[in-house]
Amino acid sequence: MKDKEQVVNFIKEILKQAKENEFTIGKTQLVKLLYLLEIEYYKLYQERLTDLEWKFLHYGPYPPGIEKILGSPDIEEEQIELSNSRIFHKYSVVKDSYDEYCKDPAIPRLISRVVKEWGGINLYSLLDYVYFETEPMQNVKRGDKLNFSKIKSWQDTKIRKIKINKKRLNEIRKSIHKHIKKSERPVIKMKFNKELSECLQIWDEGKTKITIKGNVIITPEEKP
């Protein structure tokens, strides 16, 4: 699965799925999606998907022989002039069909995941990711050949489930419960005498019965 025709088929599948997801694909983005496809394939199988020689060129990872592949009669290039006088190279599949270009059904599924995750994001974010977050681009200089063997397998990077014996798990739970019980703060109980409790109740309710009998003289407070 590593000859030129199959690389063309991988690109056609990327373009087909990009169209289905309503993404417009330019040359830079197409090359980076192909690179990410190589990354994901290596994570799964620990081997290369293509024989393309990737180097640190231009905007990060780039295969120097890609122009010949993009010149395939099955791939159409449309040059669109942008407002800043630059040319946007838009690519599409010449034969507009829904044929499966890859015989191995695992490849279209992998391409679908790559296109959905990275096809619609800002180009600068995509370049930033392939530049700084992919293993082959780590500690390389411009012009260096990229080494895909740096990529860890999916098994090494996935979250692993830890199996614990149920008996042992119950012992751990009991130990934790005992530890929490020991570390609980003591409950502090406050005691009030009867008179103080009554005063607090009066204060809280804002009213009480007057039980004092006799004459009362009220003297206005003198001003200082």
> Has residue 98 got a pLDDT over 60?
no
Go through 128-150 and write b for each residue having 16 or more CB atoms within 10 A of its CB, e for each that does not: ebbeeebbbbeebeeeeebebee
User: What φ, ψ does residue 38 adopt, rounded to 5°?
Assistant: -60, -40
How many CA atoms, within 13 angstroms, populate the side-chain half-sphere of residue 202? Answer: 9
> Has residue 194 got a pLDDT over 60?
yes
Query: Tens digit of pLDDT for each residue in 142-174?
Result: 999 999 999 988 766 554 555 666 776 677 666
Structural domain harbouring 92: 4-156
Query: Tens digit of pLDDT for each residue in 196-210?
Result: 666 666 666 655 555
Query: 208 in a domain, yes or no?
Result: no
> Has residue 105 got a pLDDT over 60?
yes
Q: Which residues contact 146 (CB under 8 A, 6 or more apart)?
A: 54, 55, 56, 61, 136, 137, 140
Q: pTM of this prediction?
A: 0.68
Block residue for tokens 């390389």: 140
Query: 209 in a domain, yes or no?
Result: no
Please count the structural domains in the chain.
Answer: 1
Query: Tens digit of pLDDT for each residue in 38-84?
Result: 999 999 999 999 999 999 997 789 999 899 999 999 999 999 988 87
pLDDT at 102: 75
How many CA atoms, within 13 angstroms, populate the side-chain half-sphere of residue 41? Answer: 21
